[in-house]
Amino acid sequence: MDMIKNRANQKKKWKITIPISLIILSLCLNLAGWFSSSFCNYYVMHIFPVWVETYGRLTGMFSFSVGEIMLYLAVLLIVILILWAVVHLLLHRFPPQWERRFLKNYSLTILWIFGIVCVIMTLNCFLLYHVSPINERYPIGDGSLEKYGVSEVTVLRDYVVEQANLLGASLPRDENGELIYAGDMKQEAKDRMRRLGNEFTQLQGYYPDPKPLATSEFFSQQYIMGYYFPFSMEANYNAIMCKINMPVTMCHELSHLKGIIREDEANFIGYLACVDSGDDFFRYSAYLSVISYLDRDFYKAIGQNDEIYESHPAISEQVMVDKRFLTKETWDHVEETALIETETVKKVSNTFTETTLVLNGVEDGKISYSRVVDLLLLYYDGVLY
């Protein structure tokens, strides 16, 4: 009898010890990441790829986004917890013994979930933020950013504008003026990323298909073009945004699967993967993805002087139309079917993203997205100037 009790107590002990150990492990790994970029560099090159090659292959077998389902199940779990508390407070008729057992098991379940979430987020997201910058790990350009000024920004901006204008005027369109793409976009995105792996070895290996988000309308309210789910190792894209945004978004999200987690670096990789393509649709997608960043930095660099600005190549009206996020008809549909106002969803999303970035060491938050211009200046050094 005593032996049976001892086994039961030992089992109860492990039920609590394991999730607590997972939380402690997560804390230790995060501390190691904050204090040692070398540790993170080794992790992202030699250990992180294992998760994509194994678990990523498993979730990649499904045509739908496993991560998206996980996200909504998590919301459902929170709702159940809240409803249980409300029912308990209103009725308070549960037998004490049943109530204690339920509360104990439920609390233990939450502890396990929290421990597992901590480990997954640490391994598949948080550690990646502390990897050395991509321009320190790979030979990009020649020199430091301090050498670049108005001249280089101007040349780069004008080059991208001219290329975008040419492609915008030459690509095939339907009777409504919308761009047409008849190829296999997902396969082309994966092929472009594999080819870029010859230059950036971190990008080599297996790639699952990018997956459309089933609730793209909700993600559109957050102005999200794509999403990387650390819990399912999937690259997802907004299925209702303008099609020209999809190639660079797919490559951007696929870069996250290879450990490129910083948004400016993912923007850079997405651009390079598409701009070097023999597919003009992909090249146009690349130019449109950075044209606003470059144009804004150029305008600042010239002291917001309208006369100087107007003396340089103008972004064509067609390009201005093509670089939309959603068409007007799609936006109308999103607003008509929305359960929550877009402005509210956007504010919550921005706050969450900003907080996540800052907590992971990206001090300038969402502004960091525009640092892709710095990487482009380095990349085109010796090519354009």
Query: Quick check: 192 and 210 in contact, CB under 8 A?
Result: no
Residue 366 has pLDDT above 90, yes or no: no
Tokens of 8: 């039961």
Q: How many CB atoms lie within 10 A of CB 224?
A: 20
At 75 the pLDDT is 86
Distance from C-alpha of 136 to C-alpha of 302, rounded to nearest angstrom: 29
Average pLDDT over residues 320-339: 93
Query: Quick check: 236 and 228 in contact, CB under 8 A?
Result: yes
Tokens of 243: 């099609």
At 104 the pLDDT is 76
At 3 the pLDDT is 52
Return the ∠ at Cα 225 (arms to 219 and 231), rounded to 5°. 70
Give tens-digit pLDDT for 117-136: 999 999 999 999 999 999 99
pTM: 0.89
**Among 120, 110, 99, 127, which residue's Cα sits nearest to residue 30?**
127
Residues facing 228 on adjacent strands: 235
**Most confident segment among 37-46, 145-154, 330-339:** 37-46
Return the ∠ at Cα 214 (arms to 112 and 245), rounded to 5°. 115
Per DSSP, the three-state class of 169 is helix
Query: Quick check: 290 and 372 in contact, CB under 8 A?
Result: yes
Give tens-digit pLDDT for 33-46: 999 999 999 999 99
Phi, psi of 57 (to 5 degrees): -65, -35
Return the minimum-mean-pLDDT range out of 21-25, 33-37, 337-341.
337-341
Residue 105 has pLDDT above 70, yes or no: yes
At 88 the pLDDT is 67
Q: How many CB atoms lie within 10 A of CB 346?
A: 14
Chain centroid to Cα 307, Å, comes to: 38
Return the minimum-mean-pLDDT range out of 95-104, 185-194, 348-357.
95-104
**Among 57, 63, 33, which residue's Cα sits nearest to residue 233?**
57
Which residues, in sequence order, are CB contacts of 303 under 8 Å at separation 6+? none
